[in-house]
């Protein structure tokens, strides 16, 4: 574990993707949370943590690494209690260190307050400045720390008031779990950027999780999504209840969860992700008609749109590249120049299948384009005669301020090249993106219910003036 | 690393599946071997090792674990030389310990002799007894150790004679690399049970590997297979040459390499494995016509036959279960009864896809049936209305003595139940196996060129009388 | 690393022993701090950390473990800067986890504030309550966190005022280093409970450390002790200067540093520890005259008083027990009953030396008495005929509130038994403690300059009313 | 663990120091062996291993590292049986790798044969050549492997004959344990170079160990030494018995065991090591009369002779340097030039004690002189006015072929300088070695019963002609 970090002031805005899972009223809370986080590991692979409570005592364990690396049987047994919140985290701007792991826990007047947060606040600089003016100090560089300061500042006999005032002070995206000794609160920002759902355990307890795939693994029944703007309060000895601190508004769900980020076996915003992606592939097949020998995905992310494209177009689907199941997270770089090594070590083209063939690659997105370039070249060298690519979303051209980390504009290929230029750069015979309308239509949800900012640049909430995403992303951090 | 082992006499026959890779005449021999083994990791995940030679000095590194865990940049740099042999090993009968890692290296009269062996000798007891009678001692429980003893016993001025006499003494399956300070020898038994191929590096050196996927990764061109009964000799400063110590005979390739064991991107016995498996699926669709909503594999092993079945039948293919990409080799057991947890943690059914549907599962084999039972139940619980299973090979009913480890007869479900009974046990609406003829036909190789023993019980080479596979397999070993 | 912890309210008073080391104006600040902590490892073996500053950027690394386990060459190189503070920590009441490692670092208005603290505050509950009332939250259970809150609350344009107000608010023992981007402050409480000294590097920079042994290792010249009540300010680009926020008072040095805690090669409170301890042994020889064959210490802690006792009494000294140099921190418990195993595995009696002899053991203290009982029995079994024990301090009977952790009164043997009863419990022929006057006399410092509370119960500063040492010590904590 | 090694032919003579321990007839054999090895850790810190037998099954665990690092509770429980042999090893010439760990175990005709060996054979090249001529192959570079080959070659119905013929073929030093499924044999070469003793467990079983300190820890009673030339046979179900395959001869005990190598709490060759060393100090005080303020050892090895010197001379003894108890096996090198850092990090001079004083250092040996030079300089810099050194043995000038590894002649300072030159090199005011006669007299054993070769160059057994110690020691080995 590396704890070295730079802590100069401008480093205050880590953007990250995360997952949360909480349990209420189950004697095995830690273990169920562990499995929930296991299922949500795709939302964050850098660190994980769990806080549990017996109602009187609170226990915490968190560390850098993957869920199964961090938690052992012994540790889970030490995490006593029937309530818990857990978190998996992936940070991309560099402040990846122990201090920034979640859940974040603090103490105040004989009470512990913990928070696990998925999303990103856009007014964290303003909040931090205001809190620092009145004497608060910060130990992490996470915007979630401001939530706990506010909770204390707003604390009083009326819990609903404390929660309402605190959450109303936050601007941005937050699907968040908050826990004290006897209370677990689940909240989803009024735009509902990130998913958050409620499930019922077979024994009667409750689970709240970022995605329904966590419910499947622990055999909980999906009950409903936490609504945008809902604060769900589960207090020991009381009935579960909800408050709604904001006026009702149109939600702005992150469509990138459907396109790329969520697991295909999850239902997100009421829609199954697998079916959405397959439908995107079908609409793409209607929008981009190509004559070819077969359709192929780069497994596994492209599989679902490829199935849709193949079914709609009538062109057979083949697995043109084979995954090496034993590729670890690190490997030794080849010393001699092995072209496209990083691609081939994971996904080896099937030469006898590709030789002389016209193929359509179905991709779920093109970000920088560097991986795509390698992949196309590897297929060419394996003998493919024509290579077409279809992408199951429009060009990604704008930063996200709500919790998904994209490269800066200068690194997004679609910001700098038009479709023809991208095709040429990637070495393709042709390239087709799904239209914005086609993408939205595939999900069956009205367009106005989505945040489409990364595609169309229209931001539901204006980011903090001082928030310079690009500046942050280039900040050199020692870790 | 656990070195504890039982070493009572009856434990002398470890059966295992392995992969080998060797380099001749390349300054980066260790690194290329490392990548070759990386691509062959599916053939053995328990231990790995590399021996290199500079012509004067010999270097060895081996350990328990996966290839990228065992070798670091520093270690590879310490493995100097332009010749090398490497090995990955998987042992199932228990003698999994450091002593049994390969390559095996010994010293004799200022010379080192190393061997890396894929396959299994059937006369190892006899060989060992004979050698022990004349004073040899054994430090491992691997049959490969006998090869080195024979090499020394047969040593003399005529290398060809030494090699011929040694290999002629061996009975069974062996695709084997042997190396001394200045010579690398690749040999394939006259039946050609296991694959072994020769490739040319772009710089002019040579590579020998179990499968062609290793050639792809290190950008070597496939030249040809080492022939059954061929002993290929590469000696420093001499032309590469081959000797054939046996009379020409019909080969007996292991069809299980095509069905299950080899990587689909490899060409094995001259045939691409992906295409073979897809063809098996197609023939299966002709043999077993079923009315259903969709065809689905259990990824990734079932993907290829499923594609064939879907294309031939016209029934669409869907990915009915989703892989969790972050499942490690170990995880904590759930304390409460989570049914079919071991299946679902890896492969989660897509509920909204399966609900109310009639599905055809395409499997590549059914061994014990326990995994299949869990998988079927998980699909049922996700809402599937009808579940049919088609298997892309005939029932597996007989032990293998040539290097693939099956459970004992009592554990092979097809030994104990007929097809109807198996279907009932698995909870299926129907079950269909591919016919022996269909399987062979799919590969395009004449039936007589195959060893089909695990399916039809006809063994090309009779195993050693004293060789009791079942007795061995039940030997309790402490590790 | 184990992060599991209980965080109920009553656990807020970890008592601990620690060491600090800081460097000002040396390009290799991190490395020198590393070696300083290395020399101070006896003051804390549970965790260690270093913060460095380049004047603009601040770097932190800390973790659980010993100094050489935590810091690698790479990590030290990442800790850039010419200023640094470091800390080693030993916690005994259970809150031993990553969160409680030091230095503690926080952020406030683009500034970082770090603190490394040796000692214990007695008004931390009061401070914490007051801070919490005005909205502060706490992330650790260390009293040092209050220091940083106060520093922020008192911050203003006048640094001296900020420091004076902050430190005047603290009651108890603190030899403390505080650092921001451009300033390093060393402060010692007005009682001067714990040592803190200033040294000059050969290159001209400065070092501040808990003990002079840290100066020896990094070849710094001892300049002087930081005075009780002195706040030494080292600011980049300014002359080093001191302020004295309190009126001059009589110091109360912890005599236990002389008796037991400091390293014998250190000078503490102006006196060499080795010489003090030897002198204690000499005075003990005058106070307790015993006829015996030889004097023996339990190495190494008892060596120095034993030398003094032997020289004064004229009775020869022998090493009656031999240390096993390879005893690690953990070992397997013997399954059969091996009596006094824990003693003998570390210190084996020399049978041929002890057989039939009358021996005098010189001990530096008796706390619970359990170890002593085992040691005496082991000597008996090795053949000693008479065993007398002399102790180079008076009976330890009272809790320490200033940073040294003793067992609770109920566990201190001297609280529950008189000298005869202790002798009987330990299995001794006779037992003699050094008198309070003799102990003080041995150091050459006036009695009124010492805190002797653990021996005589007279506390220089009354502990916080709410501070219940015994209650805390019995708190069960899971870690 | 590093397995990389060179295996060219000339590397066949590893010299090493080792310890052995075996248990016969105790249900907890593995655990007792573990503790025995723990006590013998000073004889070898590089690797350790244990073989156990239930009479039918044999279990082995060995690895690189210290005893407590290698064995866990689980592993010890897996090492079933009531018989065992164990080994600790230290190798200096480079072949330090897993393959060369002991015990060495081989299989022959359904029997396992294991050996644990302390000492060094001088005819191993000859033995190896002879065995290789008749077809034996070697997997290690240890001379102990030849023992097992011979055991097999000589095997027959008469166990006594097999053992006698095998051991008679060996020339050199060997205190050795040999075990099969049902028999444990302890043998000591006819010269009795290395110690080996027999103890009785309180439960009635037996222990054989290199030194008596192993007996103390496991509470066994010392019975007697295994005699030089004795082969002690313990066979399941039979009475313990001894055979003596050689004619009676004068022993040649290694006096270096007394001087330096054995633990002071052990009795070796019938004499307590502590008392021998103290007596060496006393005789040295008579031979070398010096006027000084105090006598000081470098702890702990010099303690015992220093006590003798001080008692005889009447000059007080002081601990002039203090050990840092937390120095690990590795630490980071200081980047700036910290003079004598390696000395001071372990042993810090006590400045206030040394300042202006005339001191006598008592050392147990001077090998290369480099450490001594640093130590003397560190004392000078701490203020010592006069520094004299007395050494409790004569100058070490000759190689050892019987199992103790010295540097080559060119590196032994006494081979290249006379006493005055050494004193000058070390920076001493005077230097005195104990005489050969004084050293022998101190032990009370007749001079002719010792091997004094390292001091006087008279070798009891001529080493193998081909054995070039110096050539070996300079062999570069990659590890």
Q: Is the pLDDT of residue B466 over 80?
A: no
CB of B112 within 8 Å of a chain D CB? The answer is yes
Q: Average the pLDDT over each of B203-207, B392-396, B475-479 and give the range with the smallest value.
A: B475-479
Nearest one of C75, C73, C54, C52 to C63, comparing CA atoms: C75
What does each C-alpha distance from B263 to A323, A383, C71, D338 come to in angstroms? 9, 19, 44, 58
User: Is B83 in contact with B71 (CB distance < 8 Å)?
Assistant: no
DSSP string, C302-336: THHHHHHHHHHH-PPB---EEE-TT--S--PPPSS
CB of C223 within 8 Å of a chain D CB? The answer is no
Bridge pairing between strands B267-268 and B271-272 = antiparallel
Q: Is the pLDDT of residue D95 over 70?
A: no
Q: What is the 3-state secondary structure (H, E, C) of B273-331?
A: HHHHHHHHHHHHHHHCCCCCCEEEECCCCCHHHHHHHHHHHCCCECCCEEECCCCCCCC
Per-residue confidence (pLDDT) for residue B473, from 0 to 100: 28
Instruction: Return the structure tokens found at B26.
Output: 């390349």
Residues of C in contact with A71 (CB under 8 A): none
User: Is B401 in contact with B467 (CB distance < 8 Å)?
Assistant: yes
Instruction: Return the structure tokens found at B18.
Output: 């392995």
Structure confidence by residue, pLDDT tens digits, C225-272: 999 999 999 999 999 999 999 999 999 999 999 999 999 999 999 999
Residue located via tokens 């949370």? A33
CATH superfamily of domain region B18-249: Aminohydrolase, N-terminal nucleophile (Ntn) domain (3.60.20.10)
User: Is D268 in contact with D292 (CB distance < 8 Å)?
Assistant: no
Read off the pLDDT band of B371 (50, 70, 90): confident
Per-residue confidence (pLDDT) for residue C331, from 0 to 100: 60
Nearest one of B348, B354, B352 to B294, comparing CA atoms: B354
A208–chain B nearest CA distance, Å: 18
Give the chain A residue nearest B349 (alpha carbons).
Answer: A265
Q: Is the pLDDT of residue B309 over 60?
A: yes
Average pLDDT estimate for B64-77: 90
Structure confidence by residue, pLDDT tens digits, C385-413: 999 999 999 999 998 899 887 777 788 89
Q: Please indicate whether, in this complex, the C-beta atoms of A263 and B71 are within 8 angstroms of each other.
A: no
Out of D61, D80, D138, closest to residue B3 by CB = D61
Per-residue confidence (pLDDT) for residue D335, from 0 to 100: 60
Q: Is the pLDDT of residue B251 over 60?
A: yes
Structure confidence by residue, pLDDT tens digits, A58-115: 999 998 888 998 999 889 999 999 999 999 998 654 345 777 889 999 999 889 999 9
B213 is in an annotated binding site: no
Q: Please indicate whether, in this complex, the C-beta atoms of D299 and C304 are within 8 angstroms of each other.
A: no
**Angle (nearest 5°) at CA B295 between B290 and B296:** 140
Q: Please indicate whether, in this complex, the C-beta atoms of A59 and C4 are within 8 angstroms of each other.
A: yes
Q: Is the pLDDT of residue A210 over 70?
A: yes
CB count within 10 Å of CB B114 equals: 27
**Angle (nearest 5°) at CA B229 between B224 and B232:** 55
What does each C-alpha distance from A226 to A22, A264, A266, B428 come to in angstroms? 13, 20, 15, 38
Structure confidence by residue, pLDDT tens digits, B195-211: 999 999 998 999 999 99
What does each C-alpha distance from A208 to A215, A239, C354 come to in angstroms? 8, 16, 69
End-to-end CA gap in chain A: 10
CB count within 10 Å of CB A314 equals: 8
Q: Is the pLDDT of residue C5 over 90?
A: no
Q: Is the pLDDT of residue B445 over 50?
A: yes
Interface test with C, best of D43, D266, D348 (most C CBs within 10 A): D348
Separation of alpha carbons D344 and D338, rounded Å: 10
CB of D265 within 8 Å of a chain C CB? The answer is yes
Per-residue confidence (pLDDT) for residue B335, from 0 to 100: 60
The pLDDT > 90 percentage for chain B reads 73
Q: Average the pLDDT over each of B383-387, C94-98, C312-316 and give the range with the smallest value.
A: C94-98
Higher per-residue pLDDT: D355 or D65: D355
Q: Is the pLDDT of residue C22 over 70?
A: yes
C152–chain D nearest CA distance, Å: 37
Separation of alpha carbons B211 and B42, rounded Å: 11
Interface test with D, best of B5, B104, B107 (most D CBs within 10 A): B107
Q: Is D21 a catalytic residue?
A: no
Is residue A58 classed as helix, strand or coil in its secondary structure?
Answer: strand
Read off the pLDDT band of D407 (50, 70, 90): confident
The pLDDT > 90 percentage for chain A reads 74
- The b-or-e profile of B162-188 (16+ CB within 10 A means b, else e) is bbbbbbebbbbbbbbbbbbbbbbbbbb
Read off the pLDDT band of A465 (50, 70, 90): low
Domain segments of chain C as ranges: 18-249, 275-476
Per-residue confidence (pLDDT) for residue B134, from 0 to 100: 87
User: Is D246 in contact with D253 (CB distance < 8 Å)?
Assistant: no
What does each C-alpha distance from B183 to B37, B195, B238, C473 come to in angstroms? 21, 22, 10, 70
Interface test with A, best of B76, B272, B326 (most A CBs within 10 A): B326
Average pLDDT estimate for A16-43: 93
Q: Please indicate whether, in this complex, the C-beta atoms of A348 and B272 are within 8 angstroms of each other.
A: no
D154–chain B nearest CA distance, Å: 9
Q: Is the pLDDT of residue B409 over 80?
A: no
The pLDDT > 70 percentage for chain D reads 90
As beta bridge partners, residue D114 has: D105, D179
- Marked catalytic residue, from D18, D197, D213, D393: D18
The length of chain C in residues reads 479
Separation of alpha carbons D116 and C435, rounded Å: 55
Per-residue confidence (pLDDT) for residue A411, from 0 to 100: 82
User: Is D54 in contact with D82 (CB distance < 8 Å)?
Assistant: yes
Q: Average the pLDDT over each of A406-415, B441-450, D264-273 and give the range with the smallest value.
A: A406-415
What does each C-alpha distance from A52 to A48, A57, A85 come to in angstroms? 14, 8, 7
Number of inter-chain CB pairs under 8 A, A vs B:
173
Read off the pLDDT band of D91 (50, 70, 90): low
Cis peptide before B163 (omega within 30 of 0): no
Most confidently predicted of A90-94, C121-125, D266-270: D266-270
User: Is B437 in contact with B392 (CB distance < 8 Å)?
Assistant: no
Q: Please indicate whether, in this complex, the C-beta atoms of C39 and D217 are within 8 angstroms of each other.
A: no
Q: Is the pLDDT of residue B12 over 80?
A: no
Measure the CA dihedral B412/B416/B421/B427, to 10°: -30
Instruction: Return the structure tokens found at C348.
Output: 């084996």
- Give the phi and the psi of residue D79 in degrees, each rounded to 5: -85, 75
Average pLDDT estimate for C343-355: 90
Average pLDDT estimate for D402-425: 88
Q: Please indicate whether, in this complex, the C-beta atoms of D109 and B98 are within 8 angstroms of each other.
A: no
D213 is in an annotated binding site: no
A454 is in an annotated binding site: yes
Per-residue confidence (pLDDT) for residue B327, from 0 to 100: 72
Separation of alpha carbons D197 and D181, rounded Å: 23
User: Is A12 in contact with A141 (CB distance < 8 Å)?
Assistant: yes
The length of chain A in residues reads 479
Higher per-residue pLDDT: C334 or B271: B271
Average pLDDT estimate for D358-373: 92
Structure confidence by residue, pLDDT tens digits, D26-79: 999 999 999 999 999 999 988 999 999 999 999 999 988 899 989 998 899 999
Fold agreement (C18-249, C275-476): no
Helices B436-443, B273-287: crossing angle, 10 deg rounding: 140
CB of D275 within 8 Å of a chain C CB? The answer is yes
Per-residue confidence (pLDDT) for residue C114, from 0 to 100: 96
Read off the pLDDT band of D330 (50, 70, 90): low
C69–chain A nearest CA distance, Å: 12
Q: Average the pLDDT over each of A196-200, B55-59, D303-307, D339-343 and give the range with the smallest value.
A: D339-343
Higher per-residue pLDDT: C292 or A98: C292
Per-residue confidence (pLDDT) for residue B343, from 0 to 100: 78
Is domain C275-476 annotated with CATH 3.40.50.2020? yes
Out of C67, C274, C311, closest to residue D350 by CB = C274
Q: Is the pLDDT of residue C39 over 50?
A: yes
């Amino acid at each position: 574990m590396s704890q070295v970090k730079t802590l100069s002031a401008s480093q205050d805005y880590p953007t990250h993707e995360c997952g949360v899972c909480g349990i209420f009223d189950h004697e095995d809370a830690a273990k169920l949370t562990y499995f929930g986080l296991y299922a949500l590991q795709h939302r964050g692979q850098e660190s994980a943590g769990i806080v549990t409570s017996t109602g009187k005592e609170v226990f915490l364990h968190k560390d850098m690494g993957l869920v199964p690396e961090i938690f052992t049987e012994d540790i889970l047994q030490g995490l006593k209690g029937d309530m818990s919140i857990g978190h998996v985290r992936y940070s991309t701007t560099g402040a990846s260190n122990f201090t920034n792991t979640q859940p974040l826990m603090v103490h105040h007047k004989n009470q512990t307050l913990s928070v696990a947060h998925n999303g990103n606040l856009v007014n964290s600089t303003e909040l931090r400045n205001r809190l620092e003016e009145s004497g608060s100090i910060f130990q992490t560089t996470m915007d979630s720390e401001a939530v706990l300061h506010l909770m204390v500042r707003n604390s009083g006999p009326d819990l609903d008031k404390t929660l309402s005032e605190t959450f109303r002070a936050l601007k941005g995206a937050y699907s968040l779990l908050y826990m004290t000794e006897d209370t677990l609160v689940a909240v989803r920002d009024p735009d509902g950027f990130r998913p958050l759902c409620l499930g019922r355990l077979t024994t009667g307890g409750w689970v709240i999780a970022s995605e329904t795939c966590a419910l499947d693994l622990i055999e909980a029944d999906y009950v409903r999504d936490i609504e945008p703007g809902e604060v769900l309060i589960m207090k020991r000895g009381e009935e579960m209840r909800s408050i709604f601190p904001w006026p009702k508004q149109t939600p702005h769900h992150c469509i990138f969860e459907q396109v790329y980020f969520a697991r295909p076996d999850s239902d997100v915003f009421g829609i199954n992700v697998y079916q959405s992606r397959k439908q995107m592939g079908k609409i793409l097949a209607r929008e981009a008609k190509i004559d070819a020998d077969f359709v192929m995905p780069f497994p596994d992310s492209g599989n679902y749109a490829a199935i849709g494209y193949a079914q709609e177009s009538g062109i057979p689907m083949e697995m043109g590249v084979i995954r090496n199941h034993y590729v670890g997270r690190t490997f030794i770089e080849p010393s001699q120049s092995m072209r496209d090594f990083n691609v081939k070590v994971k996904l080896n083209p099937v030469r006898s299948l590709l030789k002389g063939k016209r193929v359509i690659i179905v991709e779920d997105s093109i970000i920088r384009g560097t991986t795509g370039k390698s992949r196309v070249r590897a297929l060419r060298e394996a003998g493919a005669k024509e290579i077409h690519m279809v992408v199951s979303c429009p060009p990604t051209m704008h930063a996200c301020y709500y919790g998904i980390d994209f490269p800066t504009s200068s690194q997004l290929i679609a910001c700098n090249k038009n479709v023809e230029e991208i095709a040429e750069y990637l070495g393709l015979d042709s390239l087709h993106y799904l239209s914005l309308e086609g993408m939205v239509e595939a999900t069956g949800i009205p367009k106005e219910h989505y945040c489409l900012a990364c595609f169309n640049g229209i931001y539901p909430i204006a980011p903090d003036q001082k928030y310079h995403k690009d500046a942050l992303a280039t900040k050199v951090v020692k870790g």
